Amino acid sequence: MKKQILIVGAGRSSSSMIRYLLQKSNEENIHLTIGDLSIELARQKAMNHPNATPIAFDLFNTDQRIEYVSKADIVISMLPAALHIELAKDCIRLKKHLVTASYISPQMAELNEQAVENNLIFMNEVGLDPGIDHMSAMRIIHEIQNKGGEITSFESYCGGLIAPESDNNLWNYKFTWNPRNVVLAAQGGAAKFLHEGKYKYIPYNQVFRRTEILKVEGYGNFEVYANRDSLKYQNIYNLNNLRTILRGTIRRLGYSKAWSLFVDLGITDDSYTIENSETLTYRDFIDLYLPYHPTDSIETKLKLALNIAPDDQVWLKLMELDLFNDVKQIGLKNATPAQILEKILSDKWTLYPQDKDMIVMYHRIGYKIGNQDKQIDSTMVCIGEDQTYTAMAKTVGLPVAITTLKILNGTITSPGVQLPIKQEIYTPILEELEKNGITFTEQEITI
């Protein structure tokens, strides 16, 4: 009898995951039920495969949700993080394993005791970031500790970018994942980290102005800005006595300086709505945030408000986005500034069908062994296939798929609400990822 996998959510991150599971379906004796609000999207992902059944799935239809969870051996939730909890509660009641790519929420963490009591595996944070970052970092950390080394510094950076062959705009960027998350990046409190023994805090309005250069062999220079809370990873990774701990996001050079202008202008704000937003033109929208002047143009007012020099490259970036178009209408009713900015950017930054994206992940881990100070630099670069089978979909979806199969076939057995930081969990997943082209290159140096 086939093992039943219920997949909830057939969005852009699920494409490579579903393809992988279907390719393994005969060998692993599995059947997929692919549920999404859009039956068309579910059908596309099912690809008319005999081992897949697409369904229209409404998370808030309790009877339907319970019906399909009860038939499954394991549930994969590819929904936004806030929506996992109802499925998770069903999985507890109906005694089903659960896999997600999302951070463990407080509500999910509260289910740990019940999951352990019922011998259920609730694996979270097993996508890209979080996910591959945890597993690849812990492999290095454990290898260092097993040979007697002490970790002294930990830096980890990741970015979803556009591949060089598809990089054709001045921002060197296109949307490879949820655009809303890009627009709201770094909000929700100051970035905090530890640098050479000192606590550092960067308020949101300064995050994109405080960048560092990161060189990736074969791909040139990038810039990185700090993520919100790096300090919590001391506990997650069980790292004591660190002098530096920092996690950050990777972008191409010049991106952050230009993005900081949107922050300064106030159009990344998602806390209020704009009157008559649907009838505003792009030009009207920008003018909302500029002072009145009887004769100055919007362009002139913007340059003055943001102190943009006439020969500054960021001006060309802004012009490229068609921000001053006086014909295009927003077309979104009661929209927040952030939603409007997302709409404007989506016009310019959407992947074309043959575009390829790129994931870059970089760990820099310092350690002491004996009297020597050493450093390991670990790099992973993954290039996507096209608009559907992106590097983002591959690096998010494949570890989810691999984890699901490892749970079903008994390779991963430890129960509870967890993330993949134990060696018995990350080792088989990383080994299978390597077979599928997701590999890390490591270089060790003596400092």
310: pLDDT strictly greater than 90: no
Both tokens of 146, joined, read 């097993």
Cβ distance 261 to 255 under 8 Å? no
Cβ distance 53 to 32 under 8 Å? yes
- Name the segment(s) of the chain with CATH classification 3.40.50.720: 3-124
pLDDT digits (tens, 9 = 90+) for 187-227: 989 999 999 999 999 999 999 999 999 999 999 999 999 99
Half-sphere exposure of 343 (CA within 13 A, CB side): 19
420: pLDDT strictly greater than 90: yes
The residue count of the chain comes to: 447
447: pLDDT strictly greater than 90: no
d(C-alpha 102, C-alpha 104), whole Å: 6
Percent of the chain exceeding pLDDT 90 equals: 96
What's the whole-number mean pLDDT along residues 125-144? 97
Alpha-carbon distance values, 357 to 173, 174, 303 (Å):
9, 8, 32
Question: In the CATH scheme, what architecture does the domain 132-259+353-389+442-446 have?
Answer: 2-Layer Sandwich (3.30)
445: pLDDT strictly greater than 90: no
What's the whole-number mean pLDDT along residues 427-447? 96
Alpha-carbon distance values, 382 to 155, 311, 437, 445 (Å):
20, 35, 8, 24
**Residue 203, phi then psi, degrees to nearest 5:** -65, 155
Helix, strand, or coil (residue 62): helix
pLDDT at 166: 97
pLDDT digits (tens, 9 = 90+) for 394-412: 999 999 999 999 999 999 9
Q: How confident is the model at residue 364 (pLDDT cuts 50, 70, 90)?
A: very high
What's the whole-number mean pLDDT along residues 120-127? 98
- Name the segment(s) of the chain with CATH classification 3.30.360.10: 132-259+353-389+442-446
Residue 188: which of 215, 207, 167, 164 has the closest Cα? 207
Cβ distance 42 to 109 under 8 Å? no
Q: How confident is the model at residue 240 (pLDDT cuts 50, 70, 90)?
A: confident
Centre a 10 Å sphere on the Cβ of residue 447 and count the other Cβ atoms it contains.
Answer: 10
257: pLDDT strictly greater than 90: yes
pLDDT digits (tens, 9 = 90+) for 171-194: 999 998 889 999 999 998 999 999
pLDDT at 91: 98
pLDDT at 419: 97
DSSP assignments along 192-229, one per residue: EEEETTEEEEE-HHHHTTS-EEEEETTTEEEEEEE-SB
Strands annotated E in 217-356: 220-226, 244-252
Q: How confident is the model at residue 99 (pLDDT cuts 50, 70, 90)?
A: very high
What's the whole-number mean pLDDT along residues 345-373? 96
d(C-alpha 60, C-alpha 62), whole Å: 6
Superfamily of domain 3-124: NAD(P)-binding Rossmann-like Domain (3.40.50.720)
Centre a 10 Å sphere on the Cβ of residue 352 and count the other Cβ atoms it contains.
Answer: 11
User: Residues 6 or more apart from 220 whose CB is under 8 A from it?
Assistant: none
d(C-alpha 14, C-alpha 22), whole Å: 12
d(C-alpha 200, C-alpha 160), whole Å: 25
What's the whole-number mean pLDDT along residues 159-177? 95
Parallel, antiparallel or unpaired: strands 150-162 and 357-369: antiparallel
pLDDT at 241: 87
pLDDT at 178: 87
| pTM as predicted | 0.95
